[in-house]
């Protein structure tokens, strides 16, 4: 016998279907809650399957964001062998079924069947350090997306009250610029005080600059207020919005700065972090994301496995004598890792940073490949380089 238990995991609960061997189910499917009582009830069923079959059963389930984490942690604590699979794999397996029916019971059944059909590898749990780094980098990315959205909304509000403010400071979102606008959001606020008073007030906002610099900025702000088409605020709500957005921008900047310090401190404990940064165009943020999303190279014996995990490996379609001449990438793996690789390629190609990568890109373009296809090929090549570097513990040689 080769017993397995399929779990269809949802928010707060899982559907269970056990097999004693291929095509031989054990008992009816049932659900258990993701609380301690439910998890222990499942474990008693697991022990029952082990006793009946005479062998230790494996557990198979899909990766479901954070929903599977309570189950995964429980299985880890009880030394249960499990297979955590990509949902795309199970979806493709379900498509081979003649019956187009989807229920939790059927999904758990299909996962059990998949265990016997596919050559699966036991999931290797990332170490706590990698998991912490992944959590931090993902949180930083999510906050950055929200920060960008607030910046766009802030700009829209600014354009409706003080559009000429753009250009007064080189960094619109710097502390000096935002503090100045927070205290003087309209032309009226700027015009009713003297230039000298304005320069003195701005000096209190923290920038270490000369008196001449503050006087010059005060003069520029005065000129901007005189040019502003909205000499009188059209709507008081715009002022409230501007001040609210500025406070939110300060909060996001503080949180992002704190997260970045945590990421840097944790990432620097990995020697691989320094190795990855030896590739021109890859800085600390990209290196930390690559590390956290892969969990190290121990899980990948071959670079093609890493390419598949990132989803930048080409899909292949053949039927009889037909072989597709144009193949797309699979996009099956980590979308965050894939996007990070694209960013790394763009940074490497910019400003003639990575000569080795540029030469490879030019070769692909000379072969007639479109820009996007060449960039994807570069991402695949970059994955191979990273795998080789980390396996050999060698720095990148750009020549």
Shared domain for 336 and 307, answered yes or no, is yes
pLDDT value, residue 123: 56
Shared domain for 253 and 276, answered yes or no, is no
pLDDT value, residue 330: 54
* Mean per-residue pLDDT of the chain: 86
Each residue's pLDDT tens digit, 116-173: 876 565 555 556 788 899 999 999 999 999 999 999 999 999 999 999 999 999 999 9
Shared domain for 234 and 301, answered yes or no, is no
| Final residue before a domain boundary, out of 263, 297, 323 | 263
Each residue's pLDDT tens digit, 88-119: 555 554 554 434 444 557 778 888 788 887 65
CA angle 193, 215, 176 (to 5 degrees): 85
Each residue's pLDDT tens digit, 257-314: 999 999 999 999 999 999 999 999 999 999 999 999 888 887 788 888 888 888 886 6
Tokens in use for 306? 């890493």
Shared domain for 334 and 360, answered yes or no, is yes
Does residue 6 have a pLDDT over 60? yes
pLDDT value, residue 62: 84
pLDDT value, residue 64: 75
26 assigned to some structural domain: yes
360 assigned to some structural domain: yes
pLDDT value, residue 343: 95
397 assigned to some structural domain: no
Does residue 325 have a pLDDT over 50? no
Count of domains forming the chain: 3
C-alpha 252, offset from chain centre: 18
pLDDT value, residue 176: 94
214 assigned to some structural domain: yes
Nearest CA to 346 out of 373, 314, 378, 368 is that of 378
Contacts of 192 (CB under 8 A, 6+ apart): none
Stretch 30-36: mean pLDDT, rounded? 95
Q: How far apart are CA 226 and CA 186, in angstroms?
A: 11
179 assigned to some structural domain: yes
Shared domain for 276 and 315, answered yes or no, is yes
Q: How far apart are CA 303 and CA 309, in angstroms?
A: 10
Tokens in use for 108? 């758990």
Cβ 259 vs Cβ 139: under 8 Å:
yes
How many CA atoms within 13 Å lie on the side-chain side of 7? Answer: 33
219 assigned to some structural domain: yes
Tokens in use for 144? 């950055």
Scanning the structure block, which residue is given the tokens 């019971």? 105
Report the DSSP beta bridge partners of residue 318: 323
Shared domain for 174 and 238, answered yes or no, is yes
Scanning the structure block, which residue is given the tokens 């004693």? 20
Q: How far apart are CA 326 and CA 380, in angstroms?
A: 17
Instruction: Classify the C-alpha dihedral 303-309-314-319 as positive or negative.
Output: positive
399 assigned to some structural domain: no
Nearest CA to 73 out of 129, 112, 35, 114 is that of 35
pLDDT value, residue 232: 83
Q: How far apart are CA 172 and CA 20, in angstroms?
A: 65
Torsion of CA 281, 286, 287, 291, to 10 degrees: -150
Report the DSSP beta bridge partners of residue 32: 14
Neighbours of 279 (CB within 10 A): 25
Quickly list H helices, the chain. Answer: 36-53, 69-77, 87-95, 104-117, 128-158, 175-183, 187-191, 195-203, 211-227, 236-267, 271-277, 284-294, 303-310, 335-349, 355-366, 371-392
Shared domain for 251 and 137, answered yes or no, is yes
398 assigned to some structural domain: no
pLDDT value, residue 119: 59
Give φ, ψ of 13 to 5 degrees.
-160, 165
Contacts of 63 (CB under 8 A, 6+ apart): 84, 85, 86, 87
Shared domain for 139 and 243, answered yes or no, is yes
Does residue 316 have a pLDDT over 80? no
Contacts of 118 (CB under 8 A, 6+ apart): 89, 93
Shared domain for 225 and 154, answered yes or no, is yes
With both helix axes pointing from N to C terminus, report the angle between 355-366 and 371-392 in degrees, rounded to the nearest 10: 140
Each residue's pLDDT tens digit, 329-383: 555 667 889 999 999 999 999 988 999 999 999 999 999 999 999 999 999 999 9
pLDDT value, residue 96: 46
Shared domain for 376 and 280, answered yes or no, is yes
Q: How far apart are CA 115 and CA 96, in angstroms?
A: 15
Contacts of 253 (CB under 8 A, 6+ apart): 147, 173
| Final residue before a domain boundary, out of 78, 108, 125 | 125
Cβ 252 vs Cβ 149: under 8 Å:
no
Report the DSSP beta bridge partners of residue 7: 16, 61
| Final residue before a domain boundary, out of 263, 295, 328 | 263
Cβ 21 vs Cβ 73: under 8 Å:
no
Q: How far apart are CA 307 and CA 338, in angstroms?
A: 9
Shared domain for 239 and 306, answered yes or no, is no
Shared domain for 148 and 258, answered yes or no, is yes
Boundaries of domain holding 326: 271-392
């Amino acid at each position: 016998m080769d017993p397995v238990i399929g779990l269809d995991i949802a928010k707060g609960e899982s559907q269970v279907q056990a097999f004693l061997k291929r095509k031989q189910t054990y008992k009816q499917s049932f659900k258990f809650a993701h609380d301690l009582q439910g998890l222990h009830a499942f474990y008693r069923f697991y022990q029952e399957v082990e006793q009946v079959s005479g062998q230790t059963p494996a557990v198979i389930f899909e990766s479901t964001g954070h929903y599977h984490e309570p189950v995964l942690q429980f299985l880890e604590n009880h030394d249960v062998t499990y297979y955590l699979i990509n949902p795309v794999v199970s979806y493709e397996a379900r498509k081979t079924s003649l019956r187009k029916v989807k229920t939790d019971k059927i999904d758990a059944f299909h996962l059990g069947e998949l265990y016997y059909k596919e050559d699966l590898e036991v999931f290797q749990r990332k170490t706590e350090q990698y998991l912490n780094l992944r959590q931090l980098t993902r949180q930083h990315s999510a906050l950055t997306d929200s920060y960008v959205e607030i910046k766009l909304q802030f700009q829209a509000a600014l354009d409706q009250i003080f559009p000429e403010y753009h250009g007064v400071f080189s960094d619109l979102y710097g502390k000096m610029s935002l503090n100045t606008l927070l205290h003087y959001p309209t032309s009226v606020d700027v015009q009713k005080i003297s230039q000298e008073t304005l320069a003195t007030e701005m000096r209190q906002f923290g920038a270490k600059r000369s008196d001449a610099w503050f006087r010059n900025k005060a003069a520029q702000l005065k000129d901007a207020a005189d040019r502003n088409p909205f000499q009188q605020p059209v709507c008081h709500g715009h002022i409230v919005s501007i001040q609210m957005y500025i406070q939110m921008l300060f909060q996001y900047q503080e949180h992002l700065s704190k997260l970045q310090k945590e990421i840097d401190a944790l990432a620097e404990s990995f020697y691989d972090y320094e190795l990855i940064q030896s590739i021109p165009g890859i800085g600390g943020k990209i290196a930390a994301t690559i590390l956290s999303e892969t969990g190290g190279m121990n899980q990948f014996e071959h670079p093609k496995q890493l390419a598949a995990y990132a989803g930048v490996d080409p899909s292949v379609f053949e039927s009889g004598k037909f072989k597709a001449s144009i193949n797309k990438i699979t996009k099956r793996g980590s979308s965050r890792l894939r996007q990070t690789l694209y960013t790394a390629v763009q940074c490497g190609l910019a400003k003639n940073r990575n000569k080795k990568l540029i030469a490879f890109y030019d070769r692909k373009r000379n072969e007639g490949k479109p820009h996007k296809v060449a960039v994807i090929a570069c991402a695949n090549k970059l994955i191979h380089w990273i795998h080789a570097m980390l396996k050999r513990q060698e720095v990148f040689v750009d020549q």
